[in-house]
Amino acid sequence: MEKLGISAGDFIFIDPKTTITESGFIKSRFIDDKGSVACLISLLELMKRENVVPTYTTKIFISTYEEVGHGSSYIPPDITEMIAVDMGCIGDDLSCSEYDVSICAKDSGGPYDYNMTTRLIDLARENNINFAVDIYPMYGSDVVAALRGGNNIKGALIGPGVHASHGMERTHYSALENTIKLLYLYLTK
C-alpha cells in the first residue's frame, strides 16, 4: 500500500458506479447520504420556486460526520425540533420498500418524539404519500447525536427507503419524492 502512496489515516473513495434505470431505480454506493442531501436541496429549490415560506423558522444543515455518531452533537441553541433525513432500511423484518419514505419510530437511541412521529404519519396518510413505519434497533441518527450532545429537543427521523445499506445501494425516485413531499408538508402545514 505504501508503494501506492496510501498510508494509515488516508481517505480512500470507491467509484460509486451510479446507474439510473429507465424504470426510475437509482443504484449507487453511498445513496443513503447522497439521496438525503438530494431531498433537502430539492426541498429548498421547490420552496424557492413556489415562493413558499415555512410555517416555522427552519434551518437545514448537513453533517459530514453522521456515520460516526457525532455529526450533530452541537446544534444552534434555538432549535427545539429536529428531523433527521437519512435512509430507511429495507429487510425481511421491515416494512419499508424502495418506493416509500421511511418514518422511524425508534432506533438504538430510543423512541423518537411521539407527537412529531404521529404528525408525520398523519400527514403521509392524509396526503396519499407512500410510507412505512419501522424500528431500527442497530441504527442511530443525527437526532440521537444531538440528544447525546445535551440538546433539549424533540426529534424525528425520516428518509427514502434504500436497499443494501453501505453496499451497492438501490432506491427509487418515488422514495425521494415521497420524502420531499413529507418534509414540505411538515414545514408548511
CB-based contacts of 71, cutoff 8 Å, min separation 6? 63, 64, 65, 142, 145
Q: Find the catalytic residue in 2, 22, 50, 66.
A: 66
What are the grid coordinates assigned to 95, written together? Answer: 416494512
CA-to-CA dists, residue 36 to 5, 6, 67, 113, angstroms: 33, 30, 13, 21
Our CA angle for 188, 44, 159, nearest 5°, is 80
DSSP-derived letter for residue 23 is: T
66 catalytic residue (yes or no): yes
Q: Which residues are catalytic?
A: 66
